[in-house]
A and B are shown apart, each in its own frame.
Chain A
Amino acid sequence: MIDCCIYDAVRTPRGRGKPDGALHEITALELATQTLRAIRERNALNTTRVDDVVLGCVDPVGEAGADIARIAVLNADYADSVSGVQINRFCASGLEAVNMAAAQIMAGQSQMTIGGGVESMSRVGMGASGGAWPIDPAIALKSYFTPQGVSADLIATLDGFSRDDVDAYAVESQRRAANAWDNGYFNKSVVPVKDILGQTLLERDEHMRPDATMQSLAALNPSFSQMGEFAGFDAVAIQRYPQVEKINHVHHAGNSSGIVDGASAVLLATREAGDAAGLKPRARVRAFASIGSEPAIMLTGPGLVAEKVLTRAGMKTNDIDLYELNEAFASVVLRFKCLLDIPDEKINVNGGAIAMGHPLGATGAMLLGTLLDEIERRDVETGMVLLCVGAGMGTATIIERV
């Protein structure tokens, strides 16, 4: 198999996903465009060398619809020869885009590709693309459709994570993210978003609450108890997991991933193509995988996909120096840590989506960049990025330095 090397990774800072967010007045197209432009400029890239651009986007409708990847290629003034494709694996779309872009290279069908993602949650809106799963009775009833937040609370209930457990995790995520920003750990990859006059609109993640404490989080009401108790979803979840007497609703805005806007891009190539472009490889994609898992609890994919990708790479959990697991909800990370016995100091060392937000389609590639920077900074060798995924899936990628 041909080695797929990673040459560069960029991401926008994450803007609060609301009308008062700093990136609200920037179109989804422009967000994607600025990361593609950054890839070209930082690497002095002749874009005719690029075969394909794969971008993840979870709600690809309206301004984000109709293959935003190709449209962003055009808007970023890449060569006309560069194709673009938009893909959707819900929350793992950004990582899946990298995996698919890498797969083209590993299979010998492309020489240089870009994987990444974009999501303007403030402009397009979560759920804007509709979808049959919760709505069509044929599948909703059969698969015990449960909204993610209730699923996250179900995980906490089954695994016995208390409100204090999940809040403590959230406080630590904020602390780590603030520490990473303060020490410049993200500087290598974050490209400020600018307006057409060249003014910087955002240069730092906007969603963070570094002053969060156990006390301040304790004041927040659970976000999913209404939906669970009054809209019937607790009952649905319990019918799927009848050993549960009552769902313990522990998640809230402070220990769940934030709604934000952002985009990301990762430059991949064969060694030969990278050499020809005068680039120096930073790491290679060692293995990747996706899995399906029980859809009602939905968010238990990480453990399963980690197992699968480790087996594929012929590795053990100890062979991985650092993990980046998307902080969709605190219970997802706590469960994964317990299940694979991962120590705190090896996972999400610079915080995650609870502190900085989760721009759905872009997050996966953002996490890959964060991980790459951190294994370089610590001078360690390997890392795994993984995400839980809607409808019961998981996606993971192992990278190692070259």
Chain B
Amino acid sequence: MELTNFKWDVDADGIATIAWDSPGRSMNVLTAGTIADLRKVGEQLATDSALKGLVITSAKANGFCAGAALDEMEVTASGRRSTSREDAAVARFKGVMQFHRVLRRLETCGKPVAAAINGLALGGGFEVTLACHYRVVGDVSKLQLGLPEAKVGVLPGGGGTQRLPRLIGAMPALQLMLKGETVDPQRALALGMIQATAPLNEVVARAKEWIKSSKEPKQPWDKSDFHIPGGGPYSKSGTQMFMVGNAMLRKQSYGNYPAQRYIMSCVYEGLLLPIDAACRVEARYFSKLLGEPESRNMIRSLFLSLQELGKGARRPKGEPKTEVKMLGVLGAGVMGAGIAYVAALAGIDVVLIDTTSEKAEAGRGMAAGMVDRQIAKGRSTEQKKQELLARIHPAMDFAALAPANLVIEAVFEDRAVKAEATEKAEAVIKPQAIFGSNTSTLPITGLAEASTRPENFIGIHFFSPVDRMGLVEIILGQKTSPRALATAIDFVSQIRKTPIVVNDSRGFYTSRCFGTYTREGMAMLAEGIHPAMIENVGRMAGMPMGPLEVMDSVGVDTALRITRQTREELGRDGKDPSENLLTWLVEKSGRPGRKTGKGFYDYDAKGKRLRLWPDLIELHKTWRTDPDVDGMKARFLSIQALEAARCFEEKVITDPRDADIGAILGWGFAPFTGGPISYIDTVGTAAFAARCEKFAKNHGERFVPNRLLREMAAAGETFYARFAPAKQAA
């Protein structure tokens, strides 16, 4: 049989095998074409009496199927301009129902269908296997199975929300689907997601064996005596589970993530129905979800842009690929040790330099601590630890840097100290070696003045804790060369982090925008809004912490210093209420932040947050609790997004993907928005600018929209259109 996406074969026993092989793609993905092929296969199987059964497997070495083609889906989700949102949703519904019919045809055709899963099977790929009567999986612990859709704002729309709970029970199915958690074959077996594991090269043979022994190929949910494992929504355990599940979902998502909410509804409503009707319910939610801005923005940022940036979308064309074999790290403090750790983890040899051998050794010790935490979580082993530590070479003599093709300084944040480190390193390294500075605030062009080779000088800004933060902000100085940029991007890819590229300016992009969040929290406090309300609404807006808690962890004293410095630079007097509050807290009350256990909050000896400082609450007899919650959320997100818009005008940032990914990965900007620039585009530049004008009138001139924004608002332009990134083939 002629198929586009599968290789068809029938053996002597009459068992057909289709081997998935998406043309022109490195990985199998579920496309409209795949579904058309599966329909043909289903028809053939049902009608050709010579066929005894069907095995579905993959012809690709790197996996079974990675899921639905999200690039195709994003186009669908954006909708055509000519159709209304409702029409688009109905069109999607009709489309996805065709897929449901194909899968139902396969599982009800009366002949056994087995999935021989010889590589990762995720999302739509795993859903195809759920419609098979039997799943045997290659016993490789790296192989991942599951439905991770929710991570990018989508729900499993190929029957996954119906078949998985009918297979393993609502509770475990929901736990996996809501988090988008995937599992290895052994865990899948234990949960009942699959029937068997086998050595990787035997899965097809095992599938055929099962087909030969199969008497009555019928899915459990198509049998008349079917019961949902663990009970349905109105069983005793079901009511408890849904009641608590709904609460936990709101607790964790603040109601900001429609994908999770719809998954809950799909399972709840679906389990009260027979499978065909249940699939229609899922198809409706799926179709509606793809029209929600959260879904559209999350697919674009958290899947497509993240992937593009990770693959070097911002890499200058034509520069030869580089690989760092030996990395030099100057300064074995927390940041230096973290950089050494992530590099060594990626197999790179690291020379870790500090002023004394004790300090350098201590840096390696910190790296050891990071591996220990991984071992404690079962993600590493003692052997791997030893191998990793063997790649970190502590030293105090700069001469050890000679073989390095990239050196990163992470010394004290002071121009003179950094200049000295630069000079000492450049004296020994190769002329073509790249020198990176891990500064978070000092302009790169200025630091490069200490260099005799400023074209090789670049900012490589890591985030703390380095081992856990996935973002690296690459900063171009005025003289930084494309080769230096290419090397930095290649290095960031090598250590499996995501690079964004920004131009030089004070605070660059991330530190600058992030600061607006905490300052807005202080402004609210100065307006007399109840501190608990500020903190709760900050989290409800989608930020990982309340602004006051952020200030505690950064240091209230630091915040005071920056506030004073900024004020002096702007030449203003000292009557700002935020500054008065900070002064009161730090200088009158001795509460510099979490590091001493005392800031806006009280902390216990281990640094655990206990309560807002009671004297802070006592500050006012009555705090304001009347402000509109949605308005406060909008203030928090808008002030950050506005700063991002200013960064575009000043050309600090030039690519919306950098702005959005940098915000989500760098400082935890509300992921459901897709990032601050997606947020502005979703609100609409005109509406956003108008909102900022209103806030400026009510809350201060920091909200006055910049020229670029006003211009775009007037023209009805979006950032993603005006600053459209050059698309590359995925």
List residues of chain A with CB under 8 Å of any chain B CB.
127, 130, 134-138, 140-141, 144-145, 231-233, 235-236, 238-239, 242-246
Question: Would you list 8 pairs from A and B whose C-beta atoms are within 8 A, ordered by A residue?
Answer: A134-B239, A135-B242, A137-B249, A140-B246, A141-B249, A231-B244, A231-B248, A242-B537
- Chain B residues near A141: list those with CB within 8 A: 246, 249-250, 255, 261, 264
Other CB < 8 Å A-B pairs besides A239-B251, A242-B537, 4 of them?
A: A134-B242, A137-B246, A140-B242, A243-B625
Q: How far is the CA of A239 from the CA of B265 in the complex (A)?
A: 21
| A-binding segment of B16-24, B25-33, B528-536, B681-689 | B528-536
B611 on interface, CB distance cutoff 8 Å = yes
Cβ-neighbour of B265 out of A138, A233, A235, A245 (below 8 A): A138
- What is the predominant secondary structure among interface residues of chain A facing chain B? loop
Q: How far is the CA of A244 from the CA of B269 in the complex (A)?
A: 34
Cβ-neighbour of A245 out of B249, B251, B611 (below 8 A): B611
Whole-angstrom distance from the CB of B301 to the nearest CB of chain A? 24
Cβ-neighbour of B268 out of A136, A239, A245 (below 8 A): A136
The residue in B246, B269, B533 that gathers the most chain A C-beta atoms within 10 A of its C-beta is B246
- Chain B residues near A235: list those with CB within 8 A: 247, 250-251
**How many residues from B make CB contacts under 8 Å with A?**
34
- Chain A residues near B42: list those with CB within 8 A: none
Contacting A at CB under 8 A, from B232-277, are 233-234, 238-239, 242-251, 254-255, 261, 264-265, 268-269
Cβ-neighbour of A145 out of B247, B248, B251 (below 8 A): B247
Cβ-neighbour of A137 out of B234, B261, B611 (below 8 A): B261
Whether A236 touches B239, Cβ cut-off 8 Å, given contacts A137-B265, A242-B536, A242-B540, is no
Contact B243 A134 (CB under 8 A): yes
- Chain A residues near B625: list those with CB within 8 A: 243
- Chain A residues near B261: list those with CB within 8 A: 137, 141
Q: How far is the CA of A136 from the CA of B247 in the complex (A)?
A: 11
B51 on interface, CB distance cutoff 8 Å = no
- Chain A residues near B239: list those with CB within 8 A: 127, 130, 134-135
Whole-angstrom distance from the CB of A226 to the nearest CB of chain B? 11
The chain A residue with its CB closest to the CB of B241 is A135
B10 on interface, CB distance cutoff 8 Å = no
B581 on interface, CB distance cutoff 8 Å = no
Q: How far is the CA of A50 from the CA of B105 in the complex (A)?
A: 62
Q: How far is the CA of A141 from the CA of B247 in the complex (A)?
A: 7
B612 on interface, CB distance cutoff 8 Å = yes
- Chain B residues near A140: list those with CB within 8 A: 242-243, 246-247
Whole-angstrom distance from the CB of B230 to the nearest CB of chain A? 15
Whole-angstrom distance from the CB of B542 to the nearest CB of chain A? 12
Contact B532 A242 (CB under 8 A): yes
The chain A residue with its CB closest to the CB of B531 is A245
Q: How far is the CA of A243 from the CA of B627 in the complex (A)?
A: 10
Whether A232 touches B536, Cβ cut-off 8 Å, given contacts A137-B264, A243-B530, A246-B611, is no
The chain A residue with its CB closest to the CB of B601 is A245
Whole-angstrom distance from the CB of B329 to the nearest CB of chain A? 42
Contact A239 B250 (CB under 8 A): yes
The chain A residue with its CB closest to the CB of B267 is A137
- Chain B residues near A136: list those with CB within 8 A: 242, 265, 268-269
- Chain A residues near B248: list those with CB within 8 A: 231-232
Q: How far is the CA of A138 from the CA of B243 in the complex (A)?
A: 12
- Chain B residues near A138: list those with CB within 8 A: 265
Whole-angstrom distance from the CB of A313 to the nearest CB of chain B? 32
Q: How far is the CA of A239 from the CA of B247 in the complex (A)?
A: 11
B629 on interface, CB distance cutoff 8 Å = yes
Q: How far is the CA of A137 from the CA of B269 in the complex (A)?
A: 9
The chain A residue with its CB closest to the CB of B629 is A242
- Chain B residues near A236: list those with CB within 8 A: 247, 250-251
- Chain B residues near A145: list those with CB within 8 A: 243, 246-247
- Chain A residues near B265: list those with CB within 8 A: 136-138
- Chain B residues near A127: list those with CB within 8 A: 239
Interface digits, B126-163 against A, CB 8 Å rule (1 contact, 0 not)?
Answer: 00000000000000000000000000000000000000
Cβ-neighbour of A233 out of B238, B247, B268, B536 (below 8 A): B247
Cβ-neighbour of B247 out of A232, A242, A243 (below 8 A): A232
- Chain B residues near A231: list those with CB within 8 A: 243-244, 247-248
Q: How far is the CA of A80 from the CA of B242 in the complex (A)?
A: 44
Cβ-neighbour of B234 out of A135, A232, A238, A246 (below 8 A): A135
